Chains A and B, each alone.
Chain A
């Protein structure tokens, strides 16, 4: 490939950041500053270099983390190092909202203004920031055209930080939430809860960041970070967890030390893997089938069948991926498991690899979860040190290892084929199916993608048998299920309940309706789900019962809204979420989500085109075309919550 690069050089800092991630360059052919005599005689490149394309996103993230944005020089250097055509790398860099191709201060506060945080005052918080502070620029930002509105001072100075709004950060239990990022040689990333305007302004104001504004989060050192999990200074981050009956998935959360393999083992860790070795691969899959476990990410596909399909592939190179990109507004259960019980996911992935013949696993975790990424990485390293990962797992002559990949701000990368594209160093655009991932997935090889909660289920099923798990819940929806309860409830948190418990029981468990005390509506299943109301408190939380009323369990979201919340504002935010998060590949979703947002804005702003009925008709047709015509689940469900709001909440301009 004959590549042409822009005439821009990296700074020493940018070069160091990229080299720290990729290792030093081998020759001038891949970016060394000096050309050696050998370089003049030998052309080094070809397939071997191009096969490093999967490192593109990590390299761009290294730049972003070091200097706070991606400059022409730094960008050029990454392209040279990986032999990636600059135009293609540009397409990738501009796809992710946590990367910036515009100059930015090193300190940026990403303030969540999504539905659960909105229920707890995020809109007012953002209004204050909009008035008082410079926004962070993002890709293609045009002052005056884009959010924030015209007249806002746009100023780039390292003396103070900048802020930007963000879609759901998965911190709904401690809403309003924010993600603080300070780029540098040792970048600081902190998930912060209970955000106030005053604290936000101190974080991005002039001068040094006062320590107390950052106190309640992890340290940079992974060992310490993990060790501090249960300590008091982590309190706002330690989620409230609870449940009905025996906890199967959350039993170690808050009990085990997430930084200690020994502690994990003392609490039953790695017993399931031993049992799996005794059962053999077919035995493991048989237990999953007997448990009738279905995926917990939203699509509810039978897990045992998925594993069996990959196991049966003639192709021997296979992958297993833990999908920890949960970005569905209102979802934070994966964050809780990964931060509080990371070894469980390492063990479950190892069982999956053993059962299906995968030799390499990935944990793809959303970029907004720095603590989760630190802890799962630490757990993987510890497991490797103890011989529980690597070339000879537990002396069984079985080789398996896991790599952590971080997302960079794209809801769509939770779609499994978009996730593959993202790992491969491409734009996170979903693929057309078929072929399905079990046949052609990551790098074109058979691949299993399982959600974090699904993997957490594997351990008790293998340990106690599938039959025991199948006895919990209802015949059609077995086992327990994690629910992320947030918004106006007494104790927002993650709750584990047997399938078949009612919505009312769940909300009671979470401390009942808070705020005004009167429930107006609750969003069930996430932005791709639908609304339920006080009259639905007897709704049994199973796949079959929710489907019967046109709702879905989705990713286990329950966001409660009291009667003071303007539901029009919530529905508009959901429509804006889909507009912002559409990858832009197919027409029905790219334009449809925009048109849906526009029609809703007009209608709810009492300026309908023609009449309200006409707008409702338009919305229905748009929704139908998006559902029938979009490539992936994002477009196909972009109308769900809007439709549910229209039908069940009687959404109208008045």
Chain B
């Protein structure tokens, strides 16, 4: 995992050695990308819109959601574009009946088992592929379970979890190296868990919130956002963002403050930032309330 991540970081930064270019064909169009790139990178270069759920720009591809599948000439099955590296002469098709069927079924499987209501972009994806999760009937098994609300800083609602592995990777050797959570159980019962499902305050969690930053479905959510969504006051159309530098230590992480109605409601860091790769620590991510504490009149 970590070696793939190092490779990804290397790819995203200028290197002294120029990389050999590899030419492949995507939907009949030729495209050249550096050796070690993925089919997804090549598609992006051509401006093709490939749907992804588990893939994230700062993480090792887990290639588990299988929504980015494309057809590769000569391959028995479809291949995951997010992790399959380009080889010279590959011929790839990104949209046809076969590709669309698998993407639609994956979206129906997730839509019928997981609450995707606040997952950015997913309802649109479901509409685009004409996925109808209700096809599996009212009794289809789902992953619904009680919300885990066991600490002051964030809430875990695993009814919204698609098991993309992003939080595990961010907590593990892709970013934080804390290893507080992992995938436990097997098959349809597989889920994200601490050991013995112990509450977070007893676990190794350091509350960096880097898992929240990469969660694609809102299963992991900072407390302020959770409260505001509960109160029906969370409104992203009314939010503005301001980049600043975290005031706490000398690292100087870039901090993006999300502001709604004159109040900071969330802090993130840009994923493209070379210093943070989107990561922060407990102070940067959660320690902003003092900025807006007002003395009582």
Interface residues in chain A, defined as those with a beta carbon under 8 Å from any beta carbon in chain B: 1-4, 6-7, 72, 75, 79, 85-91, 94-95, 97, 101, 139-140, 410, 427, 432, 434, 579-588, 590-595, 598-599, 602, 609, 618, 621-622, 624-625, 627-631, 636
Contacts and interface: CB of A to CB of B under 8 A. Distances in A.
Nearest to A71: B196
Contact of B187 (A88, A580, A624): A580
Given A87-B204, A590-B188, A629-B77, A602 B83 contact: no
Given A432-B83, A598-B136, A628-B98, A584 B189 contact: yes
B204 A4 contact: yes
Contact of B189 (A140, A587, A628): A140
Closest 9 CB pairs of A and B: A584-B190, A85-B179, A625-B105, A591-B109, A91-B182, A86-B195, A90-B195, A4-B204, A582-B187
Nearest to A602: B137
Contact of B183 (A75, A101, A427, A580): A427
B194 interface: yes
A592 B101 CA distance: 13
A101 B110 CA distance: 28
B78 to A, nearest CB: 5
Interface stretch (B6-14, B58-66, B247-255): B58-66
Contacts of B204: 2-4, 85-87
Contacts of A636: 77
Nearest to B111: A591
B179 A410 contact: no
A590 B190 contact: yes
Contact of A598 (B140, B163, B183): B140
A477 to B, nearest CB: 20
27 contacts: A1-B179, A3-B179, A3-B204, A4-B180, A85-B182, A86-B194, A88-B182, A91-B182, A91-B184, A94-B193, A140-B185, A427-B183, A582-B187, A586-B64, A587-B64, A587-B110, A588-B106, A590-B188, A590-B190, A591-B110, A594-B141, A595-B109, A618-B136, A628-B98, A629-B77, A629-B78, A631-B63
Given A587-B162, A621-B101, A631-B63, A94 B185 contact: yes
A631 B195 CA distance: 27
Given A88-B182, A91-B184, A629-B77, A586 B141 contact: no
Given A90-B193, A593-B187, 5 more contacts: A72-B196, A584-B186, A588-B109, A590-B190, A629-B105
Given A86-B204, A87-B203, A584-B186, A625 B137 contact: no
Contacts of A621: 101, 105
Contacts of B195: 6, 75, 79, 86-87, 89-90
B45 to A, nearest CB: 22
Interface string B89-100: 000000000100
A6 B202 contact: yes
A625 B102 contact: yes
A629 B106 contact: yes
Nearest to A96: B186
Given A432-B80, A432-B83, A629-B66, A587 B106 contact: yes
Interface string B114-153: 0000000000000000000001110111000000000000
B222 interface: no
Contacts of B83: 432
A94 B194 CA distance: 12
A587 B66 contact: yes
B69 interface: yes
B198 interface: yes
Contact of A6 (B106, B139, B141, B198): B198
Contacts of B189: 139-140, 584
B216 to A, nearest CB: 13
- The CB with the most chain B CB atoms within 10 A, among A72, A75, A94, A582, is that of A94
A6 B196 contact: yes
B57 interface: no
A contact face: mostly helix, strand, loop, or mixed: helix
Nearest to A76: B195
B63 A90 contact: no
B37 interface: no
Contacts of A584: 163, 183, 185-190
A588 B163 CA distance: 12
A279 B179 CA distance: 51
A587 B112 CA distance: 12
Nearest to B107: A587
- The CB with the most chain B CB atoms within 10 A, among A6, A627, A629, is that of A629
Contact of B106 (A86, A90, A618, A625): A625
A588 B162 CA distance: 12
B181 interface: yes
B177 interface: yes
Contacts of B110: 587, 591
A587 B232 CA distance: 31
B268 interface: no
B187 A432 contact: no
B64 A90 contact: no
A586 B66 contact: yes
Given A602-B137, A621-B105, A631-B63, A583 B186 contact: yes
Nearest to B165: A585
A339 to B, nearest CB: 28
B113 interface: yes
A583 B165 CA distance: 14
Nearest to B162: A587
Contacts of B180: 4, 85, 87
A432 B204 CA distance: 29
- The CB with the most chain A CB atoms within 10 A, among B64, B69, B80, is that of B64
Nearest to B76: A636
A594 B203 contact: no
Nearest to B87: A434
A97 B78 CA distance: 31
Interface string B29-64: 000000000000000000000000000000000011
A587 to B, nearest CB: 5
A88 B141 contact: no
Given A94-B186, A591-B113, A598-B140, A88 B65 contact: no
Contacts of A622: 105
A588 B188 contact: no
Contacts of B69: 628-629
A452 B294 CA distance: 73
- The CB with the most chain B CB atoms within 10 A, among A6, A79, A91, A593, is that of A91
Contacts of A581: 187
A586 B68 CA distance: 12
Nearest to A97: B186
A387 B49 CA distance: 62
Given A95-B186, A432-B80, A590 B163 contact: yes
Contacts of B85: 434
Nearest to A91: B182
- The CB with the most chain A CB atoms within 10 A, among B64, B67, B187, is that of B187
Contacts of A3: 179, 204
Contacts of B136: 595, 598-599, 609, 618
A636 B189 CA distance: 20
Interface string B195-237: 1101000111000000000000000000000000000000000
A591 B204 CA distance: 30
Contacts of B179: 1, 3, 85, 87-88
B51 to A, nearest CB: 13
A590 B101 CA distance: 17
B132 to A, nearest CB: 11
B77 A90 contact: no
- The CB with the most chain B CB atoms within 10 A, among A582, A590, A624, is that of A590
Given A410-B186, A427-B183, A4 B80 contact: no
A466 to B, nearest CB: 28
B101 A4 contact: no
Contact of A624 (B102, B112, B202): B102
Contact of B196 (A1, A95, A101): A101
